[in-house]
């Protein structure tokens, strides 16, 4: 429930909603940018309305779930769509969270592409870079999913548990407070009043106590390991060895890195390990990708968190269109139809030339 409350808080915190209607003949002029979020954005029942009503989305999600079932004997779909689980229930089991976020984002991207909404560029935050890589044809979706399944096992086997805390305060607080920079790592700076730290369980406990004492608004994210910190380095070799088994290709569309903050063309195992290990520079990368007026940003993450960050970052840029589809608070089917309507391409371009590798029989 705390996660949902924070999302509400962030939505209210962002004062300017940036939105404009786009005519059909403008779509190919403006950049369509797909954005993919990482851990912390997940919730039970995410995407269920689309799963029940959009056959393309369901088909792709079922295909990925079959891959997960072959590897683990379990079903992501049965787990996240269990009728006894509420959206407000904590969803933090790494065994399911990483694959689920990846699966939902890839299936949603495939749906949009099949409907004629084709990205000119992709950008991901943390785990979201794996989904972005699939859409940019860097690697096959089934191969990546199997790799993520093994990554979870390595993290659980080698790394010590911990957590990540979103703090609604100036990032300068991190350097000003010894407790923070001595007992945690700066995992992300999202804007001038929102940053994320990662620490082990002892550090998380001390930091939360300090933040409560100082009445600083914060939320512990539903993440059970301290990603984007040296605490997971012990799993690095095993994860990189597993990632080296994937076949990497040059992105077929621009891929913007939240590791470097710039466009990335050469992909390998080391890079996708850094995606999990290094600080997240999403806002820097987003500045790079939005290099001309009129860009169309579409958040494919479960909670619309990247759309909110983008609205805050570009609140003075009134000709920028920012959309989110999935949310724990709204009708996702209506949100999708709204995107179609505002882009003036509802039911147009179903036979998209762009395809996501692995959708039609990729390796597993």
Query: Which residues are marked as active site?
Result: 126
The reported pLDDT for the residue numbered 317 is 80
Residue 136 has pLDDT above 50, yes or no: yes
Which of 72-76, 159-163, 180-184, 294-298 is least confident? 294-298
Residue 350 lies in a domain: no
| Per-residue three-class SS string for 222-278 | CCCCCCCCHHHHHHHHHHHHHHCCCCCCCCCCCEECCCCCCECCCCCHHHHHHHHHC
Residue 364 lies in a domain: no
Q: What CATH number did the domain enclosing 43 receive?
A: 3.40.366.10
The reported pLDDT for the residue numbered 354 is 54
Shared domain check, 86 and 16:
yes
- Give the range of the structural domain holding residue 258, as residue numbers without chain letter: 2-159+228-342
Q: What CATH number did the domain enclosing 190 receive?
A: 3.30.70.250
Those residues with Cβ within 8 angstroms of residue 251's Cβ, 6 or more apart along the chain or in another chain: 122, 133, 136, 137, 138, 264, 265, 267
Residue 152 lies in a domain: yes
Shared domain check, 206 and 246:
no
Strand partners, 322: 297
Shared domain check, 261 and 206:
no
Read off the pLDDT band of 29 (50, 70, 90): low
The reported pLDDT for the residue numbered 320 is 86
Q: Kindly report, residue by residue over 206-226, the tens digit of the pLDDT.
A: 999 999 999 999 999 999 999
Shared domain check, 50 and 100:
yes
Read off the pLDDT band of 12 (50, 70, 90): very low
| Assigned token pair, 171 | 């990032």
Which domain-ending residue is among 175, 192, 220? 220
Residue 154 lies in a domain: yes
% of the chain exceeding 90 in pLDDT: 80
What is the rounded CA–CA span in Å between residue 303 and residue 37?
9
The reported pLDDT for the residue numbered 318 is 75
- Alpha-helix runs per DSSP H in the chain: 2-13, 48-53, 55-72, 76-80, 94-114, 128-135, 141-158, 172-176, 178-183, 201-213, 236-243, 269-277, 282-289, 305-313, 332-342
Shared domain check, 271 and 296:
yes
Residue 352 lies in a domain: no
- Alpha-helix runs per DSSP H in 159-198: 172-176, 178-183
Shared domain check, 326 and 296:
yes
Residue 22 has pLDDT above 60, yes or no: no
Read off the pLDDT band of 279 (50, 70, 90): very high
Read off the pLDDT band of 287 (50, 70, 90): very high
Residue 185 lies in a domain: yes
Q: pTM for the whole thing?
A: 0.88
Residue 361 lies in a domain: no
What is the rounded CA–CA span in Å between residue 363 and residue 255?
23
The reported pLDDT for the residue numbered 206 is 98
Shared domain check, 55 and 200:
no
Shared domain check, 73 and 213:
no
| Assigned token pair, 280 | 């997240």
Residue 292 has pLDDT above 70, yes or no: no
Read off the pLDDT band of 127 (50, 70, 90): very high
Q: Which long-range contacts (CB under 8 A, 24 or more apart) does 49-55 make?
A: 49/331, 49/332, 49/333, 50/108, 50/111, 50/326, 50/332, 50/333, 50/336, 51/77, 51/81, 53/333, 54/111, 54/333, 54/336
Shared domain check, 180 and 109:
no
Read off the pLDDT band of 263 (50, 70, 90): very high
Shared domain check, 189 and 248:
no
Q: Kindly report, residue by residue over 81-115, the tens digit of the pLDDT.
A: 999 999 999 999 999 999 999 999 999 999 999 99
Residue 139 has pLDDT above 50, yes or no: yes
Cα–Cα nearest to 253, from 282, 289, 278, 281: 289
What is the number of other CB atoms lying within 10 angstroms of the CB of residue 182? 9
Residue 357 lies in a domain: no
Residue 27 has pLDDT above 70, yes or no: no
Shared domain check, 233 and 216:
no
Per the structure, the count of domains in the chain is 2
Read off the pLDDT band of 342 (50, 70, 90): confident
Which of 15-19, 272-276, 299-303 is least confident? 15-19
- What integer best gives the mean pLDDT of the chain? 88
Shared domain check, 212 and 273:
no
Q: What is the mean pLDDT of residues 317-326?
A: 88
Phi then psi dihedrals of residue 94, to 5 deg: -55, -30
């Amino acid at each position: 429930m705390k996660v949902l409350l924070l999302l509400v808080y962030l939505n209210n915190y962002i004062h300017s909603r940036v939105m404009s209607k786009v005519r059909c003949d403008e779509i190919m002029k403006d950049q369509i940018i797909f954005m993919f979020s990482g851990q912390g954005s997940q919730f039970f029942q995410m995407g269920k309305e689309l799963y029940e009503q959009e056959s393309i989305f369901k088909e792709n999600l079922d295909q990925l779930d079959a891959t997960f079932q072959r590897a683990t004997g379990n079903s992501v779909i049965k787990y996240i769509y269990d009728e006894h689980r509420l959206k407000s229930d904590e969803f933090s089991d790494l065994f399911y969270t990483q694959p689920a976020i990846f699966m939902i984002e890839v299936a949603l991207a495939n749906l949009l592409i099949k409907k004629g909404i084709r990205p000119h560029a992709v950008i991901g935050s943390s785990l979201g870079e794996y989904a972005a890589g699939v859409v940019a044809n860097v690697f096959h979706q089934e191969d990546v999913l199997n790799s993520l399944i093994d990554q979870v096992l390595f993290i659980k086997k080698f790394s010590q548990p911990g957590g990540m805390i979103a703090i609604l305060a100036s990032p300068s607080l991190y350097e000003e407070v010894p407790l923070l920079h001595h007992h945690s790592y700066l995992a992300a700076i999202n804007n001038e009043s929102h940053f994320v730290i990662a620490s082990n369980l002892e550090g998380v406990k001390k930091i939360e106590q300090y933040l409560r004492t100082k009445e600083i608004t914060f939320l512990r994210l539903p993440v059970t390991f301290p990603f984007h910190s040296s605490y997971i380095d012990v799993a690095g070799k095993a994860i990189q060895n597993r990632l080296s088994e994937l076949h990497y290709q040059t992105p077929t569309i621009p891929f913007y890195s939240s590791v470097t903050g710039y466009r990335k063309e050469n992909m390998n195992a080391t890079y996708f390990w850094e995606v999990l290990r290094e600080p997240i520079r999403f806002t820097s990368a987003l500045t790079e990708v939005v290099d001309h007026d009129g860009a169309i940003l579409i958040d494919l993450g479960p909670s619309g968190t990247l759309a909110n960050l983008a609205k805050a970052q570009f609140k003075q840029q009134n000709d920028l269109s920012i959309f989110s589809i999935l949310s724990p608070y709204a009708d996702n089917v209506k949100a999708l139809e709204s995107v179609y309507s505002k882009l003036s391409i509802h039911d147009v371009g179903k036979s998209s030339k762009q395809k996501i590798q692995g959708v039609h029989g990729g390796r597993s």
